[in-house]
Structure 1
């Protein structure tokens, strides 16, 4: 099977030349365009979601070797959520090459975040099946690159971000309360609760008060921003 000129250009934007072009075609085929003889991208989407998750989990562990699970989770969620996938898909022009049924096309399917996100995950799976994990990882890291840097920068000062969120809504700055301290004096473990005046709160545990405060702020922000 040979890719069309349009799909060849899209493949170049991905930075990957497919040995099995049919995988890319399948990844770009929305269920509204499928037929008994033509597979849609739902199965690839399922796989691509897991590949993306593994790539981002590994990248975050490498980027911050001291972060606890409670600190990593909101960063991970920000990088793999539908909005992030749809943004990347838009940047590489994925919507332009999506194969859609007539009704989806008329309703603006090429611009729908849900469709773009699903297809982006399917494309990741297509690259993974075509060339293996390392190639898929390299592509994802390249396409997500600035977002990974940004989420790490945001994570380093979650307290400031939470305070700005509160001030924008007319709330006083958040408070941070030490709710417990465990362990020996040379290796204490602190649990801190971040609380807003509207009653919203989250707690986190870390080896220093500062780390616990930042982790609690990140956890609260992650919930508030949904």
Structure 2
């Protein structure tokens, strides 16, 4: 199988030449484009998530041999969460080479955080299957780069950070309210509002409640920071 010009350029951006190019083709194929003759990237995403986790765990242990589990866990979570994965995917323009169905194309799938985060995990798995663990480890360390050294020791997800913001000001914990749901049952889209007792509120939309809650919390934190 030959790669398209776009995918050959993508190989250059990630620094890995595929001996089995069909793996890369599968890694960039979203479920909306799957068919009897075309595999999507969901199984690769499952594998890539585990490979990414192992690489990050090793990297963090090597970087700070004296760190406790309590110090390492939030750093690890910050590096492997979907938001970070999506940022890495944007850095290498992964969205431009994704194979998407018409509905995903029309809804801005190339920019969706969850879709990009899943796709970079699939690419990691493709490199792992094509070149082994050392190749996948090299890829992750190249793409995450300085993020590993600069990840905050007290890194927290947005929901935790928002709750701590509220507690520090003697407010009740944030509430997360589902304000809308759309899409078919097999691919729902949720809109969730994050609300504080002081009236501050922000909403976000994502393919899962967890992702929508995190995105809403992130948006509300940014709003609070801007208004302080």
TM-score normalised by structure 2 residue count: 0.69
CA RMSD of aligned residues (A): 2.5
Question: 1:71 matched to which residue of 2?
Answer: 71
Q: Secondary structure of the equivalent of 1:16?
A: coil
1:5-44 equivalences under 5 Å are: 5-44=5-44
Shift of 1:3: 0.8
Q: Deviations over 1:56-100 (max 9, x none)?
A: 000000011011111100000000000000000001000000000
Q: Deviations over 1:31-75 (max 9, x none)?
A: 000000100000000000000000000000001101111110000
Shift of 1:169: 6.9
Structure with bigger gyration radius: 1
Question: 1:111 matched to which residue of 2?
Answer: 111
Question: 1:83 matched to which residue of 2?
Answer: 83
Question: Equivalents in 1 of 2:164, 2:134: separation in Å?
Answer: 44
State whether structure 2 residue 95 is matched by structure 1 residue 99: no
Shift of 1:26: 0.1
Shift of 1:167: 11
1:214-225 equivalences under 5 Å are: none
Shift of 1:166: 10
The verdict on how the C-alpha distance between 1:105 and 1:60 changes in structure 2, with shifts beyond 3 A counting, is: same
Question: 1:204 matched to which residue of 2?
Answer: none
TM-score normalised by structure 1 residue count: 0.70
1:93-172 equivalences under 5 Å are: 93-151=93-151, 154-155=152-153, 171=168
Q: Secondary structure of the equivalent of 1:99?
A: coil
Shift of 1:150: 1.4
Which runs of no fewer than 5 residues in structure 2 stay unpaired?
Answer: 156-160, 174-216, 222-228
Shift of 1:171: 4.3
Structure 1 stretches of 4+ with a deviation exceeding 4 A read: 164-172, 197-200
Q: Secondary structure of the equivalent of 2:2?
A: coil
The verdict on how the C-alpha distance between 1:28 and 1:62 changes in structure 2, with shifts beyond 3 A counting, is: same
Question: Equivalents in 2 of 1:97, 1:68: separation in Å?
Answer: 40
In the alignment, is the contact (CA less than 8 A) between 2:85 and 2:120 conserved in 1?
yes
Which runs of no fewer than 5 residues in structure 1 stay unpaired?
Answer: 159-163, 173-196, 201-223
Aligned residues: 171
